[in-house]
Amino acid sequence: MATSSGQSLKTAEASAGESISIHGIRKASAVTLHGRTLEPNRQIPLNREWVEEQRANTSAIERRAATIGTRRSVKKDWQAAWLLRAISCMDLTTLSGDDSAERVKRLCAKAKRPLQDHLIKALGVEDLHLTVGAVCVYHAFVETAVKALEGSGIPVAAVSTGFPAGLSPLETRVNEIRRSVEAGASEIDIVITRAHVFNGEWNALYDEVAAFKEACGPAHMKAILGTGDLLTLRNVARASWVAMMAGSDFIKTSTGKEAVNATLPVSLVMVRAIRDYAERTGMSVGYKPAGGIKTAKQSLDWLALMKDELGRPWLEPTLFRFGASSMLADIERQLEHHVTGRYSAVHRHPIA
């Protein structure tokens, strides 16, 4: 691909969101919504009225979600640019029972260089210094990941609080967070107790998430709601509001271990909760869909959702992440097709 095409790619990528920061270091620009400048989220008192008033028109939500992938057509350089944006917002993740230090090291190497050299050169985007948004691992591998990513500016996220069920004693879960932060994790993905949602125990849920946030200290906290277990979209909306009021920096759909993980209807409910919360409080909260997002096409659907509902600021890794791993291989294949006109075999794009 000629240099002029590479410049076109960078222009298109910038239109999907602000340019990717040099050397992977994310510089958060001012976050605005409807012309109003927002502050980062912080804990506020629980407002039960805000929680109880949440409703969800399931049929309307499902109809709207069904149109997300059909409302726009992104082709050629513009599609390639959106896929680069998806990479920059990816939490490259390994959460398997057979994880090892060597697998984590390979994952970190991929995080620092998510595209093969010949694709970067062909696309003409060498000076973007493209990296993923973060690497997400179990606590046991936090130190390994931190060492492997040293100097890259890529944060390490640790799953904590009895992941994935979140049913261990509260003191144990809080201590898990503290140990991960001490080991060098700068982001913590916590799991809520779903039973608090089923029982309408909003004070208990608020206190739990607030305790997790306090234990995180300077680390950013993503609250995993386990939406596949919450049964109704109204429960998803209510849990989102409680997690945000308790100080969550992000709300996240799933652990990736549920029978049903991230879906567009669930995402629409959570994203609109973020928007309504921002309008009421003047504070911004990030969003992370996780689990079951495996293709480049799916990444475009979620990016379109974020831009339509919240605008360009939520196309930055500071406010949007994909919880994914296998999706990166499919994005690479699509970008290779963009460059060569041919699809390569999946095994040519290894992750770990």
Catalytic residues, which ones?
189, 252, 288
Between CA 338 and CA 334 the distance in angstroms is: 6
Between CA 131 and CA 145 the distance in angstroms is: 15
Q: 157 forms bridges with which residues in the sheet?
A: 136, 187
- For the CA atoms of 211, 213, 216, 219, the dihedral, rounded to the nearest 10 degrees, stands at 180
Give the contacts of 195 (CB within 8 A, at least 6 positions apart). Answer: 201
Between CA 123 and CA 216 the distance in angstroms is: 39
What is the distance, to the nearest Å, from the Cα of residue 25 to the centroid of all Cα atoms in its chain? Answer: 17
How is the chain split among helix, strand and coil, in percent rounded to 5? 50, 10, 35
CB 187 within 8 A of CB 220: yes
Would the CA dihedral through 298, 303, 304, 305 be positive or negative?
positive
Residues in the chain: 352
How buried is residue 157: exposed, middle or buried, by Cβ count under 10 Å (0-12/13-18/19+)? buried
